[in-house]
C-alpha cells in the first residue's frame, strides 16, 4: 500500500493504519471533523455542524492550518490526538524537502515529562499496532522513534 495521498481522516479510520490503535469508537468523530478542517479537507454537513459546535460558529479554515489550538477538558483525547497527528506527519508527511543526510523531526511538546512519556507511548503504539506503519520503524530509544527515510 502506498502511503501517498492518504488523508488524516482516512488514516484514522483505517484499521491497518492509525485506526489499528485508535479503534472505531464514534467518540472520535468530533476529532476527525476538527482534523478534516485543520488539514483543509472537504467536510460533510455533519463535519461542518460538529466544527461549528466546537469552534464557536467560525467557518472552517479555507486550507490547511499552520497551527491548531484546542482548549479542551480532561479525558477528551488530546494526548491521543496529538500522538495521532505526530504519527501521521512522520509517516505520511511530504519529506521531499529534506537535504541528503538531513533528519526530519516531528516534535511533540508537553507540559510535563510524564505527559510527554504518555504521548510518546501513544505514538509508538500507533506505529506498532499497524501492520503497515510498523514496517517504517528503523529504531526506537527511550525518547525517539527513528523511521526509514530519516524521520525522527
Closest-CA residue to 38 (of 58, 60, 17): 60
Cα–Cα distance, 133 to 143 (Å, whole number): 18
Q: Give the domain ranges of the chain.
A: 8-147
Q: For residue 1, is pLDDT > 60?
A: no
Identify the pLDDT of residue 73.
83
pLDDT in tens, 26-79: 778 999 999 999 999 999 999 999 999 999 888 899 999 999 888 888 887 889
**pTM of the entire predicted model:** 0.91
Q: For residue 16, is pLDDT > 60?
A: yes
Identify the pLDDT of residue 2.
61
Cβ contact 103:111 at 8 Å: no
| Helix, strand, or coil (residue 147) | strand
Amino acid at each position: 500500500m502506498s502511503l501517498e495521498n492518504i488523508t488524516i481522516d482516512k488514516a484514522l479510520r483505517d484499521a491497518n493504519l492509525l485506526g489499528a490503535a485508535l479503534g472505531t469508537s464514534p467518540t472520535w468523530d468530533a476529532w476527525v471533523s476538527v482534523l478534516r478542517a485543520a488539514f483543509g479537507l472537504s467536510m460533510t454537513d455533519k463535519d461542518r455542524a460538529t466544527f461549528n459546535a466546537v469552534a464557536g460558529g467560525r467557518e472552517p479554515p479555507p486550507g490547511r492550518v499552520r497551527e491548531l489550538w484546542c482548549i479542551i477538558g480532561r479525558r477528551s483525547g488530546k494526548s491521543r490526538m496529538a500522538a495521532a497527528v505526530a504519527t501521521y506527519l512522520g509517516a505520511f508527511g511530504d519529506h521531499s524537502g529534506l537535504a541528503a543526510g538531513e533528519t526530519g523531526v516531528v516534535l511533540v511538546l508537553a507540559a510535563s515529562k510524564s505527559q510527554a512519556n504518555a504521548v510518546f507511548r501513544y505514538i509508538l503504539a500507533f506505529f506498532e499496532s499497524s501492520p503497515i506503519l510498523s514496517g517504517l520503524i528503523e529504531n526506537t530509544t527511550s525518547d525517539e522513534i527513528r523511521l526509514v527515510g530519516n524521520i525522527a
